[in-house]
Amino acid sequence: MTAPRSGHGVGASLRRKEDARFLLGRGRYVGDIRPAGTLEVAFLRSPVAHARLLGVTKPAGAEQRVFVAADLPEIGPIRANSALPGFRVSEQPALAQGKLRHVGEVIAACVAPSRAEAEDLVAACELDYAALPVVSDMLAARAPGAPLIHEHWPDNAFLETRRDEDLSDLDAVAAAKVVRRLRTARQSMAPIEGRGVLAEWDPRLEQLVVTTATQQPHVTKTGLAECLGLDEGQIRVVSPDVGGGFGYKAILLAEELACAALAMRLGRPVRWLEDRLEQLTANANCREHHYEVTAWADAGGKLLGVEVNATVDAGAYSAYPFSACLEAAQIGSIFPGPYTLPRFRFHTVSACTNKPPILPYRGVARTGVCYAMETTLDALARQLKLPPEQVRQANLVPPEAMPYRNLVGKVFDSGDYPEALRRAVAAVDVAGIRARQAAGEAVGFGLAVFCEQGAHGTSVYHGWGIPFVPGFEQAQARFTPDGVLEIRTGVHSHGQGLETTLAQVAHQILGVDPARVRVVHGDTALTPYSTGTWGSRAMVMAGGAVAEACTQLGERALAIGAALLQAPRAACVLRDGAVHAGEAKVTLDQVARTWFRSPQNLPADVDRGGLEVTAGYRPDPDTGTHSYAAHAVVAKVDTETGCVTLESYVIVEDGGTLVNPMIVDGQVLGGTAQGIGTALYEEMPFDSEGQPLAGTLADYLLPGATEVPDIRIDHMETPSPWTRFGQKGIGESGAIGPPAAILNAINDALAGRGAEVLDLPATPARVLAAIERALA
Amino acid sequence: MKLSLTVNGQATTLEAEPRTHLADLLRGELLLTGTHIGCEHGVCGACTVEVDGAPARSCLLHAGACAGASVRSIEGFAEDPVMAALREGFSAEHALQCGYCTPGMLVVARDIVLRLPHADEARVREELAGNLCRCTGYRGIVRAILGVLAARRGAAT
């Protein structure tokens, strides 16, 4: 179904309920919460990338305020295993033991009444270590004789995956063959709010209460219980307002474990707030891929086969819960993208290096994969002298093939990929660009087409065998005695606007005014278990669960309303927040009041579950929705300075039924801004000693208002046949396409000069180097 | 050290370590947590407040430098009509998501509106260059400010 575009339900661009508090500065983030007696923590972190840890000398007189691993033996190691064959397990100690494996690794926790005093203690600690040779590059990590980061492993690889298919005959038959070596930079996700943790021990409930900026409160609770040896009932995790996630806050933190153990030991609230230096130098932890791609095509641009050898720099440990292999091992299954690839061979490596453990950043592996595939397609188009859109049209999955299962078993639910591409190309004055190029101008046109699997569930994740497998998503719907509808969900909203969109879903089912719907999230004591907000899943999974819970709640309300109206149930309907029987009606407020405060008026056969329903939901099949998009970019290159200007940016996007189009646009725009950062600006360089070289936001460049153009979005709305309203996961989509589309535009602009930029980001230095290489 | 300053119209005297910055003073001592800390080195703009009538990075001002100053944080703009128009515009244009950069963004937006009544889109973007938002891609923020500027120009003619 395509939902109506009126009212306050599914399809309405309703203004956000959460805006009011944020606009008045009344949001409440971890850093805003400081109970009396709170002790602040500063961490002594490793200054080197690889060393034997010989000891820490605590400052004289402060021995009781500095805690190393031996002081907190109750904290077990973080283990994020995978059941994929051949996966090697790393044990990540919360506080370093024996070895230091990356700059910024936590060694000791220093506690004091203020952060400044705690930092003074850090500065007074003496660290003794013996430096070891450093593995700072993912390809060097695999070289024979490379120093071993985990010494009981035979080499520095968490996991290798492969698909063997003999492609050796293609050289003889292909009209075009291209080979590309491509690299994407290591990035910091850089939410404006850093991480933060406040741990307290509640002696009355004998419960550890951890208030932490997380996208996954329930998964964090499970992880804390595993590592601390507590029952899950002894832990409550609260995630209040969170200032941006993007994957950075989908992790069990060493710092959470340390604060939790300290709160239990000291009987005082213990808080740590990450500062920007820590975030940049200890936690630049995403996106770093290397590709060798070979592609063969016929004269019309139809792909005959692709071979990809991909390496992902997974860092020193396997982060909980997504593991060290989520990116690399996924490359094989997502590389074909939206195309009908006939033959495919791949080999992937999750390389272990002396860098922070990799986390899945918005788009996860797709941003790199899209970059590799789409730049390769443009290289083929240049070689075949075909327009780039023609090569893509020759390969896109056609709409009549939907639902489509590709050669690696990925299932695409619905959509018209060729139409998205046609619309994107039509929105750009390609002839005008070609004319400017003919006049010698370094201007270019770049495309990227991709899809985003979202909300994939049990059938996809059980094979990974990582610490969680998403199952049925649950939501609770319940009335308060005065008729307010409470929705309780285990996902977390940190910018996505779920307090609004889940209220819209509830309104769609029950007709309750969204202003009278209260969405409760971010507290494991109040919400059903959930794997949380990740994988573009919340609107599909929690949206479906809320719809189901409200549907069941509506049935119960209908029965009570029918009794109050003295009408047969079959003659009653639920509409606009009231039970109607002909001309007569009783509001849901009255129904709620009856259950709670006038039970003498309830029918004898009333459902004794009352006005409170917990329901579970999972799409069938649960292989995930595929939103998709075509990005079209016009970029101008200053060949003297190497600076790139984005002249226009068009996105044609299909997220199925849009629950709130305004919010979807916001997700797409914000993701695209991050993708522009990936394409042009953001890079955490590491030197050969594994030292991160960008320690401030003046060195690590995030896109500002002058770097992001006024992006045009055109929506298609092909409902997913498998979800409650036809909605698709789309939260990460914007971050996937920009590096591919922008680099294609740059290389189109430079094609006349024979230059090609291969590595991300396309900084002025890289652009100039490419031009110079072409002149040489 | 003892420090006297005016915060949101109220004369205040408090005890502060000289190395404490204004953002920590506002948040820690005065419980005005609407001012957010993003980088503590003056790049992200999340901590922007008004000091003596102009936007300032509260993370770069040490306590000693604030003696006698008049400081206005987001909480101090609750009744301000220009800020009310901006709040309305920000909500209508979906100019905020996680809300963390929003207070600093609003203080700068208000300054743009009052100082540059004829600012066009390019100028607004340039003026916003010192405030980072990681969620929205800026379009809603720029549109909200342009909308308030246009409405004020319309009202003035």
Cβ burial, residue A260 (10 Å; 0-12/13-18/19+): buried
Task: Please write the tens of the pLDDT for every residue from A450-504.
Answer: 999 999 999 999 988 888 899 999 999 999 999 999 999 999 999 999 999 999 9
| End position of a domain, from candidates B51, B76, B101 | B76
Residue A139 has pLDDT above 80, yes or no: yes
- Return the pLDDT at A154: 96
Same domain as B50, residue B103 = no
Tell me if A666 and B136 make a contact (CB, 8 A cut-off): yes
Is the CB of residue A533 less than 8 Å from the CB of residue A492?
Answer: yes
pLDDT at B18: 86
Task: Answer yes or no: are the C-beta atoms of A270 and A259 closer than 8 Å.
Answer: yes
Nearest-angstrom CA–CA distance, A421 and A651: 10
In a shared domain, residues A515 and A639: no
Nearest chain B Cα to A280, which residue? B39
pLDDT at B156: 79
Q: Are residues A590 and A653 in the same domain?
A: no
Identify the helix (H) or strand (E) that includes residue A235: strand A235-238
Give the one of A22, A674, A702 whose C-beta lies nearest to B102's C-beta. A22
- Put simply, whether B107 touches A (Cβ < 8 Å) is no
Q: Is B134 on the interface with A (CB under 8 A)?
A: yes
- Give CA–CA dist A744/A424, Å, rounded: 15
The answer to whether A275 contacts chain B (CB < 8 Å) is yes
Amino acid A4: pLDDT: 40
Q: 215-254 in A: which are within 8 Å (CB) of B?
A: 241-246
pLDDT at B19 over 90: no
For the cut 60, the answer to whether the pLDDT of residue A2 exceeds it is no
Q: Are residues B33 and B68 in the same domain?
A: yes
Q: What is the pLDDT of residue A463?
A: 86
C-beta of residue A357 within 8 angstroms of C-beta of residue A314: yes
Cα nearest neighbour of B141 on chain A: A705
Chain B residue numbers touching A116 (CB-CB < 8 A): 17, 19-20
Rounded CA-CA distance A211/A224 in Å is: 12
Nearest chain B Cα to A189, which residue?
A: B134
A577 falls within a domain:
yes
B50 and B85 together in one domain = no
Q: What is the DSSP string of B7-75?
A: ETTEEEEEE--TT-BHHHIIIIIS--TTS--S-SSSSS-TTEEEETTEEEETTS-BGGGGTT-EEE-GG
B103 in contact with chain A, both atoms CB, cutoff 8 A: yes
For the residues A418-434, what does the mean pLDDT come to?
98
Number of compact structural domains in chain B: 2
Q: Does B121 touch chain A (CB under 8 A)?
A: yes
Q: Are residues A677 and A736 in the same domain?
A: yes
Q: What is the pLDDT of residues B36-74, one digit of tens each?
A: 999 999 999 999 999 999 999 999 999 888 999 999 999
Question: Region A627-643: what's the mean pLDDT?
Answer: 98
Give yes or no for residue A378 having a pLDDT over 70: yes
Give the closest residue to A774 by CA, choosing from A758, A760, A761. Answer: A758
pLDDT of B64:
85
- Same domain for A665 and A545: no
- Here the CATH number for the domain that contains residue A228 is 3.90.1170.50
- One domain, residues A497 and A381: no
- Those of residues 1-30 in B touching chain A at CB distance below 8 A are 17, 19-20, 27-28
Distance (Å) from the C-alpha of residue A533 to the closest C-alpha of chain B?
A: 14
Q: How crowded is residue A12: how many other Cβ atoms within 10 Å of its Cβ? A: 23
End-to-end CA distance of chain A: 59
Query: Looking at residues A632-653, what average pLDDT do you find?
Result: 98
Q: Name the residue in chain A with its Cα closest to that of B78.
A: A24
Question: Which residue bears the tokens 């922008």?
Answer: A742
Nearest CA in chain A to B104: A25
**Predicted pLDDT of residue B63:** 82
Task: Give percent helix, percent strand, percent coil of chain B, each to the nearest 5.
Answer: 45, 15, 40
Share above pLDDT 90 across residues of chain B, in percent, rounded to a whole number: 93
pLDDT-derived band at B97 (thresholds 50, 70, 90) equals very high
Work out how many CB contacts closer than 8 A connect A with B.
Answer: 165
3-state secondary structure of A436: helix
What confidence tens digit (pLDDT) does each residue in A305-323 have? 999 999 999 999 999 999 9
| Half-sphere exposure (Cβ direction) of A625: Cα atoms closer than 13 Å | 34
CATH, residue B13: 3.10.20.30
Cβ distance of A243 and B99 shorter than 8 Å: yes
Nearest to B138 among A29, A116, A708 (CB): A708
Q: Does A721 touch chain B (CB under 8 A)?
A: no
| CB-based contact A674 B20, cutoff 8 Å | no
- Choose, out of A15, A19, A29, A120, the residue to mutate when testing the contact with B (most B CBs < 10 Å): A19
pLDDT at A556 over 70: yes
Q: Which ranges of A298-438 would DSSP assign to H, the alpha helix?
A: 328-334, 366-384, 388-393, 417-426, 430-438
Residues B126, A706: C-beta atoms closer than 8 Å: yes
Q: Which residues contact B41 (CB under 8 A, 6 or more apart)?
A: A276, A696, A697, A698, B59, B60
CA B108 – CA B102 distance, rounded (Å) = 10
Instruction: Read off the CATH number of the domain in which A603 is found.
Output: 3.30.365.10
CA distance linking residue A650 with residue A665, whole number of Å: 13
Task: Name residue, tokens 């509409």.
Answer: A575
Domain match, B88 and B147 both: yes
Q: Which pLDDT value is given to residue A465? A: 83
Task: Give me the residue from A25, A31, A673 closest to B137, CB to CB.
Answer: A673
Is the pLDDT score of A1 beyond 80?
no
**Two tokens, residue A312:** 């992902």
On whether any CB of chain B is under 8 Å from the CB of A118, the answer is no
The per-residue pLDDT for range B133-142, each reduced to its tens digit, is 999 999 999 9
* Same domain membership, residue A681 and residue A577: no
What distance in Å separates the CA atoms of residue A217 and residue A195, rounded to the nearest whole number? Answer: 14
A179 belongs to a structural domain = no
Q: Do A494 and B102 touch (CB under 8 A)?
A: no
State residue B155's pLDDT score. Answer: 87
A446 and A494 part of one domain: no
A434 lies in the same domain as A478: no
* Co-location of A586 and A678 in the same domain: no
CB contact under 8 A, B126 and A26: no
Work out the widest C-alpha separation in chain A, in whole angstroms.
91
Share of chain A above pLDDT 70, in %: 99
Same domain, B58 and B93: no
Residue B153 pLDDT > 90? yes
Question: Nearest CB to A23: which of B39, B46, B90?
Answer: B90
- For chain A, how are helix, strand and coil distributed in percent, rounded to 5? 30, 25, 45
Is residue A14 within 8 angstroms of chain B, CB to CB?
no
- The per-residue pLDDT for A152 is 96
3-state secondary structure of A768: helix
B contacts of A27 (beta carbons < 8 Å): 34, 99-100, 102
Q: Is the dihedral of CA A654, A660, A662, A668 positive or negative?
A: negative
Q: In terms of domains, do B56 and B94 share one?
A: no
Q: What is the pLDDT of residues A722-776, one digit of tens each?
A: 999 999 999 999 999 999 999 999 999 999 999 999 999 999 999 999 999 999 8
Average pLDDT over residues A610-614: 98
Asked if the C-beta of B48 comes within 8 angstroms of chain A's C-beta atoms, the answer is: no
A:685-704 residues touching chain B, CB 8 A cutoff: 696-698, 702, 704
Of all residues in chain A, the one with the smallest CA distance to B123 is A706
- Do B37 and B62 belong together in one domain? yes
pLDDT of residue B119: 98
For residues A281 and A692, is the Cβ–Cβ distance under 8 A?
yes
Of the candidates A206, A202, A200, the one whose C-alpha atom is nearest the C-alpha of residue A230 is: A206
Whether A202 and chain B come into contact, CB under 8 Å, resolves to no
When divided into structural domains, chain A yields a total of 3
Q: Quick one: B39 and B86 in the same domain?
A: no
Q: What is the pLDDT of residue B34?
A: 98
Residues of chain A neighbouring B101 (CB-CB closer than 8 A): 192, 243
Distance in angstroms (rounded) separating the CA atoms of residues A328 and A309: 10
Query: Which residues of A are less than 8 Å from B90 in CB distance?
Result: 19, 23
* Same domain flag for B72 and B92: no
Chain B residues with beta carbon closer than 8 angstroms to that of A677:
none
Closest partner CB to B100 (pick from A244, A496, A665)? A244
The partner residue sitting opposite A697, judged by closest CB among B44, B94, B140, is B44
Crossing angle, helix A538-565 and helix A588-597, to 10 degrees? Answer: 70
B80 shares contact with chain A (CB less than 8 Å): no
Q: Are residues A680 and A579 in the same domain?
A: no
In degrees rounded to 5, what are phi and psi of residue A89?
Answer: -85, 130
Q: What are phi and psi of B149, to 5 degrees?
A: -60, -45
Give how far Cα A650 sits from Cα of A208, A298, B122, Å.
49, 29, 19
A679 domain residue, yes or no? yes
Residues A439 and A537 in one domain: no
The CATH number assigned to the domain holding B92 equals: 1.10.150.120
Name the strands in the sheet holding A157-163, side by side, starting at the edge strand that comes first in the sequence: A157-163, A344-351, A303-313, A289-297, A176-183
Q: What is the pTM of this model?
A: 0.97
∠ CA A249-A325-A623, nearest 5°, is 80
pLDDT at A668: 98
Does residue A362 carry a pLDDT above 70? yes
Both B44 and B96 in a single domain?
no
On whether residue A563 sits in a domain, the answer given is yes
Whether residue B61 sits in one domain with residue B20: yes
Handedness of CA A538, A543, A549, A553 (dihedral sign): positive
Q: Is residue A299 one of the residues assigned to a domain? A: no
Query: What pLDDT score does A718 carry?
Result: 97
Domain that holds residue A560: 19-27+472-617
pLDDT bin (cut points 50, 70, 90) of residue A533 is very high
**pLDDT-based confidence at residue A449 (cuts at 50, 70, 90):** very high
Judge whether A525 lies within some domain.
yes
Kindly state whether B84 is in contact with chain A, defined as any CB-CB distance less than 8 angstroms: no
Segment 29-68 of chain A within 8 Å of chain B by CB:
29, 31-32, 34
ipTM of the complex: 0.98
Are A393 and A513 part of one and the same domain? no
Going by C-beta distance under 8 Å and a sequence separation of 6 or more, which residues neighbour residue B74?
A: A24, A25, B34, B35, B49, B103, B106, B107
Q: Does the pLDDT at position A583 exceed 70?
A: yes
Pairwise CB contact (< 8 Å): B40 & A696: no
Q: Across the interface, do A669 and B137 touch by the CB < 8 Å criterion?
A: yes
Q: What's the pLDDT band for A704 if we cut at 50, 70, 90?
A: very high
Domain ends where: A596, A617, A638?
A617
Residues in chain A within 8 Å Cβ distance of B137: 666, 669-673, 708, 711, 734
pLDDT for position A690: 98
| Structural domain boundaries, residue B104 | 81-156
* B55 & B102 share domain: no
Residue of B nearest to A708 (CA): B137
